[in-house]
Amino acid sequence: MERKIIEKIEEIISKDRIFTDTADLYAYGFDASIHHATPDIVIRPKDAEEVEKVVKIANEYRIPIIARGSGTALCGQAVPIYGGIILDMTGMNKIKEIRVEDLYCVVEPGVVYAKLNEALAKYGFFFPPTPGSGDVCTIGGMLAVNASGMRAIKYGATRDYVLGMEIVFPYGRVRFGGKTLKNSSGYQIERLIVGSEGTLGIITEATLRIAPLPQKRAVALASFDDVIDAGKGVAEIIGKGVLPSALEIMDRVCIQAVNRAMGIGLPDAEAILLIEVDGNEKEVKENIEKIAKILKEKASKIEFTDDEQEMLKLWKGRKGVLPSLSRYGENMVSVSLADDMCLPISKIPYAIKEFQKIAKKYGIIIGTYGHAGDGNLHTKVLIDPTKEENWRNAEKAVDEIYKVVYQLNGIASGEHGIGITKAPWMNGDLSTMEKIKKAIDPNNIMNPGKMMQWKKGIIAYLRYPVKNEEKRFRTVT
Ligand SMILES: Cc1cc2nc3c(=O)[nH]c(=O)nc-3n(C[C@H](O)[C@H](O)[C@H](O)COP(=O)(O)OP(=O)(O)OC[C@H]3O[C@@H](n4cnc5c(N)ncnc54)[C@H](O)[C@@H]3O)c2cc1C
């Protein structure tokens, strides 16, 4: 980056919040995906005025600008593939307002999800989307990707909670929505921004709906000898009108990975379901009884608990699937490829069976788990990432996986987003999306090259040193 541009930035941002050392730039080139690329400069703004001024410079000099929360995105969304400016939003981390009587809070984008819920819990409220990365990920990252998690089946995803937003577009700072629970006042641009992955503008503030914490929760742990039985159990629970607050599935690979890495002692089974119900005492009791009745014939074993510590342990095991898979075998890493498809709920067991066949065909291991209750599955491919052949096989397997997903009326992503790694399978009319981007960001400075703009294969900008194929894998012309 030219010296004169850095000098302009230094007029706005104090030097202790500008990073250009090689080590810093290298570290900011990662998110939690398979990709890596180095930015030219990292800036940590302290308020919306600073963001606005930096975006103005980026637009004037046509420099890519990529907002970054905690860097936990799984598809390369926060990776600066064309270099440019990383805006580290974690310095903007104030909770500005909590108004439980009006059911909203106002936050800066760098607030960490768990910190917001800590603050809301003091009032008996919470912000429900519950991503597995909630202890570290930011509200800005959640908004930009429309994150959600195990409670989406009952409480919905991040987009469902957005009431208002302040955004810095290339042409300036604007506000949409407000502090009301309903809004029929024209285009809801604040909701369009959700899921835009930083490709339209930088979120500098959000007004979010909040919900009262339930009185009570209880969890059922059901084991199955066949994943099809587990899937049928899920469909029947939903079909009989029971609405759990979480309904999670884990296959054998995931169960073994968690037991090996965390020693949680999950049952030895082909599949397990973790089913949480919440509400008042009576509702919880009734729903647990209904679930027990539905699963009686299908499950090999069902246990129930409402003990806080026991429930915490089970959810710790569930949240630990992703990191545990990387310790499944010698030299094996769990890579995020085809990791977040969403299907009609009843199709889940058939999809898992097909994924297992595909894994066998290509000699790779695929662990499948996820939010069975809302049709959102996570498949993790386990490979030695230093061998080119493994990537080629994984790429072919991923393509077949998506063919199955589309045959079963599914879509590419239910919560982790598109970035690079899922771009070839993104659904919807991409030309309309490109027109919207052009109208707001004509110079294409906002996180360029992602989603509908990514036209190449997914095995690119790899973070891993692949033997013999260094150049081909790490650069894209
Ligand atoms: C172990 C693990 C578990 C996970 N579990 C889940 C899960 O259960 N559910 C789920 O949905 N996701 C999950 N994820 C993915 C990820 O955590 C979420 O997408 C999360 O919302 C990203 O937040 P972040 O702060 O890390 O954002 P980053 O990774 O820093 O950025 C993500 C995207 O948001 C954009 N962005 C960030 N801040 C802003 C802003 N202020 N304005 C505009 N754009 C912005 C970035 O440019 C980028 O495109 C998981 C990831 C890991 C590593």
Among 34-48, 153-167, 220-234, the least confident range: 220-234
User: How high is the pLDDT of residue 468?
Assistant: 58
Ligand 1 atom closest to Cα of residue 322:
1
Most informative mutation of 46, 137, 167 for ligand 1 (most atoms within 8 A of CB): 137
Tens-place pLDDT, residues 73-90: 999 999 999 999 999 999
Give the CATH number for residue 472: 3.30.465.10
> Which of 179-188, 323-332, 418-427 has the least mean pLDDT?
323-332
Q: Taking 50 as the threshold, does the pLDDT of residue 476 lie above it?
A: no
Q: Which atom of ligand 1 is nearest to the CA of 197?
A: 49
Residue nearest to atom 27 of ligand 1 (CA): 141
Residue 440 CA to residue 236 CA, distance in Å, equals 45
pLDDT band at residue 179 under the 50/70/90 scheme: very high
29 and 178 inside one domain:
yes
Give, as one character, the DSSP assignment of residue 318. H
Which of 380, 407, 434 delimits the end of a domain?
407
The answer to whether the CB of 85 is under 6 A from ligand 1 is: no
Output the average pLDDT for the chain: 93
Choose one of 357, 372, 407: the last residue of a domain: 407
Residues 380 and 267 in one domain: yes
CB of 145 sitting under 6 A from ligand 1? yes
Dihedral of CA atoms 153, 156, 158, 159 in degrees, nearest 10, equals 140
Ligand 1 centre distance from Cα of residue 82 (Å): 20
Q: What count of Cα atoms within 13 Å lies in the side-chain half-sphere of residue 260?
A: 16
Give yes or no for residue 324 CB within 6 A of ligand 1: no
Q: Is the CB of 111 under 6 A from ligand 1?
A: no
Mean pLDDT of 184-213: 97
Say yes or no to pLDDT of 213 above 80: yes
* Highest mean pLDDT (candidates 68-72, 226-230, 231-235, 321-325): 68-72
Is residue 137 within 8 A of residue 147, CB to CB? The reply is yes
Q: Tell whether 418 is covered by a domain.
A: no
Model pLDDT, residue 364: 84
The domain total for the chain is 2
Over 70: is that where the pLDDT of 474 sits?
no
Same domain, 131 and 208: yes
pLDDT over 90 (residue 258): yes
**Pocket of ligand 1 contains residue 279 by CB under 6 Å:** no
- Looking at residues 161-180, what average pLDDT do you find? 98
Ligand 1 centroid, distance to 201 Cα (angstroms): 16
Looking at the fold, whether 188 and 228 belong to one and the same domain comes out as no
% of residues, the chain, pLDDT over 90: 81
Q: Are residues 87 and 159 in the same domain?
A: yes
- Specify whether 450 is located in the same domain as 402: no
Verify whether ligand 1 is closer than 6 Å to residue 322 (CB atom). yes
- Whether residue 470 has pLDDT greater than 80: no
Same domain for 207 and 221, yes or no, is no
Residue with tokens 């899920």, as numbered in its chain: 234
Q: Is 169:56 a contact under the CB 8 Å cutoff?
A: no
DSSP readout, 446-465?
Answer: BSTT-GGG--S-SS-SBSS-
Banded pLDDT at 216 (limits 50, 70, 90): very high
Q: Report if residue 414 sits inside a domain.
A: no
**Which atom from ligand 1 is nearest to the alpha carbon of 32?**
53
CA torsion sign for 32, 191, 140, 215 is negative
Atom of ligand 1 nearest to the CA of 67: 47
The best mutation among 145, 262, 341 to test binding of ligand 1, ranked by most ligand atoms within 8 Å of the C-beta, falls on: 145
What is the Å distance from ligand 1's center to 137 Cα? 6
Strand order in the sheet with 95-99: 95-99, 104-107, 202-209, 162-169, 172-177
DSSP state for residue 212 in the 8-state scheme: E
- Give the SS3 label for residue 257: helix
Kindly report the CATH number assigned to the domain that includes residue 346: 3.40.462.10
Rounded distance from Cα 420 to ligand 1 centre (Å): 14
208, 289: one domain = no
pLDDT tens for each residue of 120-161: 999 999 999 999 899 999 999 999 999 999 999 999 999 999
Q: State the distance from the centre of ligand 1 to the C-alpha of 133, rounded, in angstroms.
A: 8
Name the DSSP letter for residue 21. -
**Inter-residue contact 466 to 386 (CB < 8 Å):** yes
What is the predicted pLDDT for the residue at 477? 33
| Domain co-membership, 471 together with 364 | no
Q: Residue 45 pLDDT > 80, yes or no?
A: yes
- Residues 165 and 1: their CA atoms lie apart, in Å, by 31
Most confident of 206-215, 321-330, 332-341: 206-215
- 25 within a domain of the structure (yes/no): yes
Q: Averaged over 423-450, what is the pLDDT?
A: 97
Q: Answer yes or no: do 14 and 131 share one domain.
A: yes
Q: Measuring CA to CA, how many Å separate 356 from each of 41, 61, 380, 475?
A: 43, 49, 11, 32
Q: In terms of residue numbers, what domain contains 315? A: 216-407
What is the predicted pLDDT for the residue at 171? 97
Q: What band does 368 get if pLDDT is binned at 50, 70 and 90?
A: confident
How many residues are there in the chain? 477
Nearest protein Cα to ligand 1, atom 18: 73
Give the separation between CA 360 and CA 204, rounded to whole angstroms: 46
* pLDDT score at 419: 97
CA distance 195 to 160: 12
Neighbour count for residue 176 (Cβ, 10 Å) = 20
What pLDDT is attached to residue 367? 85
Asked if pLDDT for residue 1 goes beyond 90, the answer is no
51 lines ligand 1 (CB under 6 A): no
pLDDT (mean) for 210-234: 94
Q: What is the pLDDT of residue 66?
A: 98
Nearest residue CA, atom 53 of ligand 1? 72
- Give a yes or no: residue 291 inside a domain: yes
| Domain membership flag for residue 420 | no
What average pLDDT does this structure show over 185-202?
97
pLDDT 10s digits, 387-397: 888 898 889 99
Determine the pLDDT at residue 469.
52
Same domain, 178 and 325: no
Please identify, by atom number, the ligand 1 atom nearest to the C-alpha of residue 415: 11
Lowest-pLDDT range of 196-210, 267-281, 342-356: 342-356
Pocket test for ligand 1, best of 68, 113, 205, 437 (most atoms within 8 A of CB): 68
